[in-house]
Amino acid sequence: MLIPLIPVIAKIFLAGSAVYGAMAVVKKTKVRKKVIYSLKKVDNRYQQIVQKHFDPFFGTDLRHQQIENFSGEYTDKEVVINRRLGLAIANTGLAILGEMYYPSLLVANGLLLLYIILPMIYRNLKILIQEKRIKFRFFASLSVLVNYISGFYVIGSLILVVVFFAFKLAARTEEYSRKSLIDTFALQPPDSVWVLVDGVEVAVPFSQLQIGDFIILNAGQTVPVDGCIVQGIASIDQHMLTGESQPVEKTVGDKVLASTLLLAGKLQVRVEKTGTATGAAQIGKILNNAANYHSFCEARSERMADQTTLPTLSASALAWLTVGSGGALAILNSDFGSSMIFSGPLNMLSYLNIASHGGILVKDGRSLEILHTIDTVVFDKTGTLTLEQPEVGHIHSCNGWTEQQVLYYAATAEYRQSHPIARAILSAAKQQSLEYLPPDEVDYEIGFGIRVICQGKAVRVGSARFMAQELISLPAEIIEQQQRCQEKGYSLVMVAVDKQLIGTVELQTQLRHETAKLVQQLHKRGLKIYILSGDHQQPTQHIAERLGIDDFFAEVLPEGKANIINKLQQEGRKVCFVGDGINDAIALRQADVSISLRGATTVATDSAQIVLVSQSLQQLNQLFDIVEGFNTNQNRSLLFAFVPGGMLIAGVFLFHLEMPAALVTYSVGLAASLGNALYPLLKFNQQNEATKKNNAT
């Protein structure tokens, strides 16, 4: 049918080449640029249409909203898949028109088909030569070519549509990265900073800041540089970088780090490092240069499709020798693989959407498969197992004062203050229904405490160093108490009235209310649990014992966290790491599965594969339930793909079945696999609708 058309096509091609060759060089360049510009314009418009009208079919509105909030940009890989899927659909139209009305279109159909699959053949031939393994994608390319050569033009084109649609589904389940993490770690520096020039504070653009400059930092500011304090005293929250649960008091000679928060005080800092040279940015460099385990991880459905390729080719070759080309072609179209790579991502998307409705954003669908193999869960402590704001544990009084009076004066002094310690004290006063008056005068002592005048009394609230600075002596029992608290990782806030210490407020790390129950649930699943923290030994050990956690690692630097995760993996463990801070980002990348919480640092949520959107660790147990359902359904889908294909191969050898039987069994297997993959989401939606109706009545 096509042979008589070949000379005509050749003449048209030669004539076009001659016309183009006769053009002047300048005109050729203009024509080429115009063609490229027009093609890019058409492609950009097509990509916009796909993203706006086609992609929403792959997920619920809730999941798309979560992805926009926590995930990121369209990848180049998906843009290419969109383009080739569109070409494959158009090419199928050419094949249908060519078969039914215009045979000459079949030549264009063949050329476009080659254009679409040649890059795939090239990539998979390289894998075959270099890695000595045959991938299903190579098999699919051969199947398309063989069908076309055998005269099954529409079938060959449809197989290509199915393959690229499966690739599109898989791309929708893979992880997005918002941007280079080095940009995230460089923070968003202020437009300007206050620099001390000849004793005068001058606003200078941040970009003009030089090493050796002296900058002025006030309470509430994020430290924009690494440097050394040359004047002042301050309380600094650096838990996002170091993991320390309590604010750190710093003074002249101490180092400050970029991305930490100045809670109270005023500092003059000599600049030592800025921008990408800071310690925080160096973590970003490590992340960007680190090999990401997940980029080498294939979905289970694709791995199994690859494993069926060689047996299917062997069976087809045997059929060619024993029952003829019809049987060989039928086996080639039994297509275990396409059912698997189609139903696998669709099953994954169903459960990704179910997870989204449970407040869980799974950015990388492959993590659902890996979670099924997890045997160890490692938690960051500060901000993950615990809340950032401490809570009042005990109130200790002395020198004849009562505990209620101690809390009353502490709350009076901290009235309208917004730092974590003040919020904890005011919350305790509210719980005890204490009524207190705002202070008459407030004098904030930079760094370590606050001095107020209340009803004619001078009230001082702050650290032991602040009391020493104010010449207020500490009783022996308070000093002993302070040592005991330090061993447990607690902190003491001293309260004094008119130069006499009246007591202390003990601040304890506040556990998330769901943490204890979650640990019990994870233990019931047979999981081993660790704490991994940058905080000191005593508070970390105390939390581990309090929760019944198996083991812990304390005082670990960010790079060290990743090393510990790697060590556990080297011992044969599959590790899930849950963290929220900048200091957790490298460990999140190293873990087999990484989880963060909404409200964590952008770096943590960008690095994690899974985000608990509702900010509750209890969702972690729910996630494991979802994973169990996903894997059960995945096994069922794979069974539906195997059985019809296996029956067809047996039928070819026993009953000499050919292409019609292949098309029927392939359609049955594909329909069963897809129906099973979609069933969980359909069932979930029905239950949701029923719940809404019940609530309405």
pLDDT attached to residue 407: 93
Please give the CATH superfamily to which domain 391-508 belongs: Calcium-transporting ATPase, cytoplasmic domain N (3.40.1110.10)
Beta bridge partners of 256: 227
State the pLDDT confidence band at 12, using cuts at 50, 70 and 90.
low
Arithmetic mean of pLDDT, 626-646: 87
Beta bridge partners of 442: 452
Choose between 549 and 81: higher pLDDT. Answer: 549
Pick from 274, 232, 234: which is nearest to 257 by CA? Answer: 274
Q: Write out pLDDT tens, residues 42-69.
A: 878 888 888 777 777 665 556 656 555 5
Domain locations in the chain as residue ranges: 187-277, 298-359+617-692, 361-386+512-613, 391-508
Arithmetic mean of pLDDT, 433-443: 75
Question: Measured between alpha carbons, how far is 478 from 133 in angstroms, rounded to an integer?
Answer: 71
Arithmetic mean of pLDDT, 138-156: 85
Please give the CATH superfamily to which domain 361-386+512-613 belongs: HAD superfamily/HAD-like (3.40.50.1000)
Choose between 425 and 302: higher pLDDT. Answer: 425
Choose between 289 and 435: higher pLDDT. Answer: 435
Q: Write out pLDDT tens, residues 176-186.
A: 444 444 444 44
Burial 640-671 (b: 16+ CB within 10 A, else e): bbbebbebbbebbeeeebbbebbeebbebbbe
pLDDT attached to residue 234: 82
Q: Write out pLDDT tens, residues 262-299.
A: 877 788 999 998 877 776 666 655 555 444 444 445 56
Percent with pLDDT over 90 in the chain? 19
pLDDT attached to residue 536: 80
Contacts of 86 (CB under 8 A, 6+ apart): 46, 50
Percent with pLDDT over 70 in the chain? 84
pLDDT attached to residue 57: 67
pLDDT attached to residue 318: 92
Q: Is the pLDDT of residue 517 over 90?
A: yes
Say what angle helices 537-547 and 476-488 make with each other, to 10 degrees.
Answer: 70
pLDDT attached to residue 295: 43
Pick from 104, 170, 210, 242: which is nearest to 533 by CA? Answer: 242
Q: What is the CATH number of domain 187-277?
A: 2.70.150.10
Q: Is the pLDDT of residue 447 over 60?
A: no
pLDDT attached to residue 496: 94
pLDDT attached to residue 286: 55
Sheet of strand 457-462, all strands in order from the earlier edge strand to the far edge: 391-397, 500-508, 491-497, 457-462, 449-454, 441-445
Residue 214: half-sphere exposure toward Cβ, Cα within 13 Å: 13
Alpha helices (runs of H) in 217-271, residue ranges in sequence order: 239-242
Structure tokens at 193: 């900073």
Pick from 342, 336, 344, 343: which is nearest to 642 by CA? Answer: 336
Q: What SS3 state is found at 211?
A: coil
Check: CB of residue 378 under 8 Å from CB of residue 556: no
Q: Scanning the structure block, which residue is given the tokens 């239950």?
A: 687
Choose between 542 and 296: higher pLDDT. Answer: 542
Question: Measured between alpha carbons, how far is 488 from 508 in angstroms, rounded to an integer?
Answer: 9
Question: Measured between alpha carbons, how far is 151 from 146 in angstroms, rounded to an integer?
Answer: 9
Check: CB of residue 345 under 8 Å from CB of residue 676: no
pLDDT attached to residue 189: 67
Q: Is the pLDDT of residue 693 over 70?
A: yes
Check: CB of residue 604 under 8 Å from CB of residue 585: yes
Contacts of 250 (CB under 8 A, 6+ apart): 229, 233, 234, 235, 236, 256, 267, 447
Choose between 568 and 366: higher pLDDT. Answer: 568
Q: Is the pLDDT of residue 257 over 60?
A: yes
Average pLDDT, the chain: 81
Structure tokens at 534: 């940058």
Arithmetic mean of pLDDT, 15-24: 56
Q: Is the pLDDT of residue 312 over 80?
A: yes
DSSP string, 423-457: HHHHHHHHHTT---PPPSEEEEETTTEEEEEETTE
State the pLDDT confidence band at 569, using cuts at 50, 70 and 90.
very high
Q: Which of 133-137, 335-339, 372-376, 452-456 has the highest mean pLDDT?
A: 372-376
How would you classify the pairing of strands 200-205 and 192-197?
A: antiparallel
pTM: 0.71
Span of 9-18, 165-174, 395-404, 599-608 with lowest mean pLDDT: 9-18
Q: Is the pLDDT of residue 502 over 90?
A: yes
Structure tokens at 215: 């900058």
pLDDT attached to residue 1: 45
Q: What SS3 state is found at 487?
A: helix
Choose between 341 and 19: higher pLDDT. Answer: 341
